[in-house]
Protein backbone atom coordinates (compact mmCIF):
# COMPACT_ATOMS: atom_id res chain seq x y z
CA UNK A 1 0.00 0.00 0.00
CA UNK A 2 1.34 3.45 -0.87
CA UNK A 3 2.50 5.63 2.01
CA UNK A 4 -0.21 8.31 2.44
CA UNK A 5 1.54 10.10 5.30
CA UNK A 6 1.48 13.78 4.27
CA UNK A 7 4.58 14.57 6.29
CA UNK A 8 6.51 11.85 4.48
CA UNK A 9 5.30 13.19 1.14
CA UNK A 10 6.37 16.71 2.17
CA UNK A 11 9.83 15.45 3.12
CA UNK A 12 10.18 13.68 -0.21
CA UNK A 13 9.18 16.85 -2.03
CA UNK A 14 11.73 18.95 -0.16
CA UNK A 15 14.40 16.34 -0.86
CA UNK A 16 13.98 16.80 -4.60
CA UNK A 17 16.63 18.94 -6.35
CA UNK A 18 15.74 22.65 -6.67
CA UNK A 19 15.89 22.22 -10.45
CA UNK A 20 13.08 19.65 -10.32
CA UNK A 21 10.02 20.77 -12.28
CA UNK A 22 7.76 18.83 -9.89
CA UNK A 23 9.21 20.64 -6.87
CA UNK A 24 8.95 24.05 -8.58
CA UNK A 25 5.32 23.54 -9.59
CA UNK A 26 4.35 22.14 -6.20
CA UNK A 27 6.00 24.97 -4.24
CA UNK A 28 4.47 27.59 -6.56
CA UNK A 29 1.04 26.03 -6.08
CA UNK A 30 1.41 25.96 -2.29
CA UNK A 31 2.59 29.59 -2.14
CA UNK A 32 -0.30 30.78 -4.34
CA UNK A 33 -2.81 28.81 -2.25
CA UNK A 34 -1.50 30.32 0.99
CA UNK A 35 -1.55 33.82 -0.51
CA UNK A 36 -5.12 33.28 -1.72
CA UNK A 37 -6.16 32.25 1.79
CA UNK A 38 -4.54 35.36 3.27
CA UNK A 39 -6.19 37.63 0.69
CA UNK A 40 -9.61 36.02 1.23
CA UNK A 41 -9.24 36.32 4.97
CA UNK A 42 -8.19 39.96 4.74
CA UNK A 43 -11.17 40.69 2.47
CA UNK A 44 -13.60 39.19 4.97
CA UNK A 45 -12.01 41.05 7.89
CA UNK A 46 -11.75 44.39 6.08
CA UNK A 47 -15.15 44.36 4.33
CA UNK A 48 -17.09 45.90 7.27
CA UNK A 49 -14.39 48.57 7.64
CA UNK A 50 -14.48 49.36 3.92
CA UNK A 51 -18.29 49.53 3.96
CA UNK A 52 -18.21 51.90 6.93
CA UNK A 53 -15.60 54.07 5.23
CA UNK A 54 -17.65 54.30 2.02
CA UNK A 55 -20.74 55.22 4.02
CA UNK A 56 -18.78 57.91 5.89
CA UNK A 57 -17.43 59.32 2.61
CA UNK A 58 -20.92 59.38 1.08
CA UNK A 59 -22.30 61.10 4.17
CA UNK A 60 -19.53 63.72 4.06
CA UNK A 61 -20.17 64.42 0.37
CA UNK A 62 -23.90 64.70 1.01
CA UNK A 63 -23.45 67.11 3.91
CA UNK A 64 -21.06 69.22 1.84
CA UNK A 65 -23.59 69.33 -1.00
CA UNK A 66 -26.45 70.43 1.23
CA UNK A 67 -24.25 72.85 3.17
CA UNK A 68 -23.51 74.62 -0.10
CA UNK A 69 -27.18 75.52 -0.55
CA UNK A 70 -27.86 78.96 0.95
CA UNK A 71 -30.00 78.74 4.06
CA UNK A 72 -29.87 74.96 4.44
CA UNK A 73 -26.89 74.75 6.81
CA UNK A 74 -28.68 76.71 9.53
CA UNK A 75 -31.86 74.74 9.02
CA UNK A 76 -30.06 71.39 9.36
CA UNK A 77 -28.17 72.63 12.41
CA UNK A 78 -31.44 73.59 14.10
CA UNK A 79 -33.04 70.24 13.34
CA UNK A 80 -29.99 68.07 14.09
CA UNK A 81 -29.66 64.39 13.30
CA UNK A 82 -28.38 62.34 10.40
CA UNK A 83 -28.78 63.24 6.74
CA UNK A 84 -29.28 60.50 4.13
CA UNK A 85 -30.26 60.33 0.48
CA UNK A 86 -32.45 57.95 -1.50
CA UNK A 87 -33.92 57.77 -4.99
CA UNK A 88 -37.71 57.84 -4.96
CA UNK A 89 -40.09 56.38 -7.52
CA UNK A 90 -42.39 59.38 -7.84
CA UNK A 91 -45.34 57.40 -9.17
CA UNK A 92 -45.30 54.91 -6.29
CA UNK A 93 -43.97 57.21 -3.57
CA UNK A 94 -41.51 54.48 -2.59
CA UNK A 95 -37.77 53.93 -2.61
CA UNK A 96 -36.64 53.00 -6.13
CA UNK A 97 -34.21 50.21 -6.94
CA UNK A 98 -31.73 52.79 -8.23
CA UNK A 99 -28.67 53.99 -6.33
CA UNK A 100 -28.16 57.78 -6.23
CA UNK A 101 -24.92 57.34 -8.21
CA UNK A 102 -26.88 55.65 -11.01
CA UNK A 103 -29.74 58.15 -11.26
CA UNK A 104 -28.20 60.30 -14.00
CA UNK A 105 -27.67 57.24 -16.19
CA UNK A 106 -31.22 56.01 -15.52
CA UNK A 107 -32.71 59.36 -16.58
CA UNK A 108 -30.93 59.18 -19.92
CA UNK A 109 -33.51 56.52 -20.79
CA UNK A 110 -36.59 58.23 -22.22
CA UNK A 111 -38.80 55.48 -20.77
CA UNK A 112 -38.00 56.83 -17.32
CA UNK A 113 -39.86 60.05 -18.02
CA UNK A 114 -43.60 60.77 -18.00
CA UNK A 115 -45.25 63.22 -20.38
CA UNK A 116 -47.59 65.78 -18.81
CA UNK A 117 -50.83 67.13 -20.20
CA UNK A 118 -51.39 70.88 -20.28
CA UNK A 119 -53.69 70.56 -17.27
CA UNK A 120 -51.08 68.63 -15.30
CA UNK A 121 -48.08 70.70 -16.31
CA UNK A 122 -48.57 73.70 -14.06
CA UNK A 123 -44.79 73.99 -13.54
CA UNK A 124 -44.05 74.18 -17.28
CA UNK A 125 -41.87 71.06 -17.38
CA UNK A 126 -43.22 69.29 -20.45
CA UNK A 127 -42.31 65.97 -18.90
CA UNK A 128 -41.44 64.75 -15.43
CA UNK A 129 -38.73 62.27 -14.42
CA UNK A 130 -40.08 59.08 -12.87
CA UNK A 131 -37.35 59.14 -10.24
CA UNK A 132 -35.93 61.85 -8.00
CA UNK A 133 -33.15 61.99 -5.45
CA UNK A 134 -34.39 63.30 -2.10
CA UNK A 135 -32.76 63.87 1.27
CA UNK A 136 -34.05 62.82 4.69
CA UNK A 137 -32.90 64.28 8.00
CA UNK A 138 -33.54 62.02 10.98
CA UNK A 139 -33.26 62.98 14.62
CA UNK A 140 -31.18 61.09 17.19
CA UNK A 141 -34.22 58.85 17.80
CA UNK A 142 -34.23 57.79 14.14
CA UNK A 143 -37.54 59.48 13.38
CA UNK A 144 -37.89 61.63 10.28
CA UNK A 145 -37.32 65.30 10.99
CA UNK A 146 -37.09 66.92 7.56
CA UNK A 147 -37.62 65.90 3.94
CA UNK A 148 -35.52 67.95 1.52
CA UNK A 149 -37.15 67.82 -1.92
CA UNK A 150 -35.59 69.20 -5.12
CA UNK A 151 -38.17 71.10 -7.17
CA UNK A 152 -37.94 72.79 -10.54
CA UNK A 153 -40.11 74.60 -13.06
CA UNK A 154 -40.32 77.35 -15.64
CA UNK A 155 -39.85 80.90 -14.37
CA UNK A 156 -40.25 84.20 -16.22
CA UNK A 157 -36.81 84.12 -17.86
CA UNK A 158 -35.89 80.44 -17.53
CA UNK A 159 -35.83 77.48 -15.17
CA UNK A 160 -36.06 77.98 -11.42
CA UNK A 161 -34.52 75.23 -9.30
CA UNK A 162 -34.92 74.98 -5.54
CA UNK A 163 -34.81 72.71 -2.51
CA UNK A 164 -38.02 72.59 -0.46
CA UNK A 165 -37.66 71.49 3.15
CA UNK A 166 -40.78 70.03 4.75
CA UNK A 167 -41.31 68.98 8.35
CA UNK A 168 -42.23 65.36 9.06
CA UNK A 169 -45.94 66.23 9.10
CA UNK A 170 -45.50 67.01 5.35
CA UNK A 171 -47.70 70.09 5.80
CA UNK A 172 -45.31 72.54 7.45
CA UNK A 173 -42.63 74.22 5.37
CA UNK A 174 -39.28 74.40 7.15
CA UNK A 175 -37.59 76.45 4.46
CA UNK A 176 -36.92 77.02 0.78
CA UNK A 177 -33.55 77.50 -0.93
CA UNK A 178 -33.21 78.69 -4.52
CA UNK A 179 -30.35 76.83 -6.23
CA UNK A 180 -30.68 78.25 -9.76
CA UNK A 181 -32.62 81.08 -11.39
CA UNK A 182 -32.27 83.63 -14.19
CA UNK A 183 -35.05 86.05 -13.27
CA UNK A 184 -34.87 89.81 -13.81
CA UNK A 185 -32.28 91.47 -11.51
CA UNK A 186 -33.91 93.69 -8.91
CA UNK A 187 -37.33 92.15 -9.57
CA UNK A 188 -37.90 88.41 -9.93
CA UNK A 189 -34.31 87.68 -8.92
CA UNK A 190 -35.27 88.79 -5.42
CA UNK A 191 -36.55 85.24 -4.84
CA UNK A 192 -32.96 84.51 -3.77
CA UNK A 193 -32.92 87.20 -1.09
CA UNK A 194 -32.76 85.81 2.48
CA UNK A 195 -35.38 88.32 3.66
CA UNK A 196 -37.95 86.97 1.20
CA UNK A 197 -37.05 83.31 1.73
CA UNK A 198 -37.26 83.73 5.51
CA UNK A 199 -41.07 83.93 5.18
CA UNK A 200 -41.36 80.28 4.17
CA UNK A 201 -40.47 78.73 7.52
CA UNK A 202 -43.63 77.75 9.38
CA UNK A 203 -46.00 78.27 6.45
CA UNK A 204 -48.52 75.51 5.69
CA UNK A 205 -48.09 73.83 2.31
CA UNK A 206 -51.07 71.46 2.30
CA UNK A 207 -54.56 71.62 3.75
CA UNK A 208 -56.03 68.91 6.00
CA UNK A 209 -56.99 66.79 2.98
CA UNK A 210 -53.44 66.83 1.62
CA UNK A 211 -54.22 69.22 -1.25
CA UNK A 212 -51.53 71.84 -2.11
CA UNK A 213 -52.57 75.28 -0.91
CA UNK A 214 -49.30 77.22 -0.87
CA UNK A 215 -49.27 80.51 -2.80
CA UNK A 216 -47.24 83.65 -3.26
CA UNK A 217 -49.72 86.41 -2.56
CA UNK A 218 -50.34 89.26 -4.99
CA UNK A 219 -49.49 91.63 -2.18
CA UNK A 220 -49.19 91.00 1.54
CA UNK A 221 -49.74 87.42 2.72
CA UNK A 222 -53.21 86.96 4.17
CA UNK A 223 -53.23 83.35 5.34
CA UNK A 224 -51.05 80.58 6.76
CA UNK A 225 -50.59 79.26 3.21
CA UNK A 226 -49.14 82.46 1.73
CA UNK A 227 -45.92 84.45 1.61
CA UNK A 228 -45.70 88.09 0.49
CA UNK A 229 -45.53 88.73 -3.23
CA UNK A 230 -42.63 90.56 -4.85
CA UNK A 231 -43.56 94.01 -6.13
CA UNK A 232 -43.14 94.24 -9.90
CA UNK A 233 -42.45 90.51 -10.27
CA UNK A 234 -45.92 89.05 -10.70
CA UNK A 235 -44.83 86.43 -13.26
CA UNK A 236 -42.01 85.16 -11.08
CA UNK A 237 -44.30 85.09 -8.04
CA UNK A 238 -46.89 83.13 -10.01
CA UNK A 239 -44.17 80.75 -11.21
CA UNK A 240 -43.15 79.96 -7.63
CA UNK A 241 -46.79 79.24 -6.76
CA UNK A 242 -47.18 76.90 -9.76
CA UNK A 243 -43.88 75.11 -9.12
CA UNK A 244 -44.66 74.55 -5.44
CA UNK A 245 -48.18 73.30 -6.11
CA UNK A 246 -47.05 70.95 -8.87
CA UNK A 247 -44.37 69.26 -6.77
CA UNK A 248 -46.62 69.07 -3.71
CA UNK A 249 -49.37 67.51 -5.80
CA UNK A 250 -50.17 64.05 -7.16
CA UNK A 251 -47.89 64.39 -10.20
CA UNK A 252 -44.95 65.45 -8.06
CA UNK A 253 -44.12 64.32 -4.52
CA UNK A 254 -47.76 63.72 -3.53
CA UNK A 255 -47.42 59.90 -3.34
CA UNK A 256 -44.20 60.23 -1.31
CA UNK A 257 -45.80 62.69 1.11
CA UNK A 258 -48.75 60.34 1.57
CA UNK A 259 -46.33 57.49 2.32
CA UNK A 260 -44.50 59.65 4.90
CA UNK A 261 -47.82 60.42 6.60
CA UNK A 262 -48.55 56.67 6.73
CA UNK A 263 -45.26 56.14 8.53
CA UNK A 264 -43.57 54.34 5.61
CA UNK A 265 -40.46 56.45 6.09
Nearest to 148 by CA among 55, 85, 226: 85
Helical pair 21-67 and 6-15, crossing angle rounded to 10 deg: 100
Instruction: Report the predicted TM-score, pTM, of the whole model to 2 decimal places.
Output: 0.73
Helical pair 72-79 and 21-67, crossing angle rounded to 10 deg: 100
Q: Can you give the pLDDT at residue 1? A: 47
Q: Can you give the pLDDT at residue 106? A: 96
Contacts for 131 with CB less than 8 Å, ≥ 6 apart: 87, 88, 89, 90, 96, 98, 103, 106, 107, 112
**How far is residue 48's CA from residue 26's CA, in Å, rounded to a whole number?**
35
**How far is residue 247's CA from residue 92's CA, in Å, rounded to a whole number?**
14
Q: Can you give the pLDDT at residue 12? A: 74
Q: Can you give the pLDDT at residue 244? A: 97
**How far is residue 138's CA from residue 60's CA, in Å, rounded to a whole number?**
16
Q: Which residues of the chain have pLDDT under 70?
A: 1-7, 10, 13, 23, 39-73, 75-76, 79
Beta 173-180 vs 215-216: how paired, if at all? unpaired
Burial 130-160 (b: 16+ CB within 10 A, else e): bbbbbbbbbeeeeebbbbbbebbbbbbeebb
**Is the distance from CB of 216 to CB of 240 less than 8 angstroms?**
yes
Q: Can you give the pLDDT at residue 24? A: 79
Residue count (the chain): 265
Nearest to 216 by CA among 245, 192, 175, 255: 245
Amino acid sequence: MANLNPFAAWRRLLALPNESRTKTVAIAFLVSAICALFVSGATVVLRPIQTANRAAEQQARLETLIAGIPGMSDLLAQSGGTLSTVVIDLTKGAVAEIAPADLTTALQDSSNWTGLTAAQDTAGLGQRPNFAQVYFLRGPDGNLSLALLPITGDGYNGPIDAILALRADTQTIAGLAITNQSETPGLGARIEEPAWLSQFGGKTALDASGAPRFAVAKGTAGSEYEVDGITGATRTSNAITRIMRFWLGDDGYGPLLAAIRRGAF
